[in-house]
Amino acid sequence: MKTLNINGRNETVDVDDDAKLLWVLRDELGHTGTKFGCGMALCGACTVLLDGEPVRSCITPVSAANGRKITTIEGQEHDRVGRVVQDTWVAMGVAQCGYCQAGQINTAIALLKKSPKPSEQQVREAMSGNICRCGTYTRINAAIKQASATLAGGKA
Ligand code: FES
Ligand code: FES
């Protein structure tokens, strides 16, 4: 049995060490906000945070999450930055089909926590591994800037 800290709560699961975190989250524990895209660390749809760092849960063995804080999209509403980013995403109508957006949002939150006022280059670098088949990149970029301004207490 393993105990995982997910969104601030301990959850116990009986899986092998090399089971991938994505499937443990989705199939064993019901955190279905984390999506499967490519399964090869190429699209970013499965991005969750491990101690605040974005990771591709489709290739991350569950053993790597042992003793660390896992944050999925379901947990972001309990976080100040997470809430602001999600509210901004909704207000600006970023999503199209929505499939990639949990990964996009988690990556954006990690960026804004590390760099509250990211440069264009920092945004591009941080978000470059998150693919959107609907091409919402312009809105994602604008939403990150707006969320940054809201968090700083100003306007974009
Ligand atoms: S499903 Fe993990 S990166 Fe694509
Ligand atoms: S919103 Fe459809 S894949 Fe990104």
Express each pLDDT in 50-92 by its tens digit.
Answer: 999 999 999 999 999 999 999 999 999 999 999 999 999 999 9
The two structure tokens encoding residue 89: 């995403």
Contact present, 50 and 70 (Cβ < 8 Å): yes
Q: What ligand has the least distance to the C-alpha of 41? A: 1
Residue nearest to atom 3 of ligand 1 (CA): 41
How many Å apart are CA 114 and CA 91, to the nearest integer? 23
Q: Is 100 in the pocket of ligand 1 (CB under 6 A)?
A: no
pLDDT per residue as tens digits for the range 89-147 = 999 999 999 999 999 999 999 999 999 999 999 999 999 999 999 999 999 999 999 99
For residue 82, give every residue at least 6 positions away whose Cβ sits within 8 Å of its Cβ, in sequence order, or none: 71, 75, 76, 105, 109
- Pairing of the two strands 9-13 and 53-56: unpaired
Q: Which of 25, 56, 99, 101 to mutate to test the pocket of ligand 1 (most atoms within 8 A of CB)?
A: 56
Confidence tier at 156 by pLDDT (50, 70, 90): very low
Q: Tell me which H or E stretch contains 108.
A: helix 101-114
The per-residue pLDDT for 75 is: 98
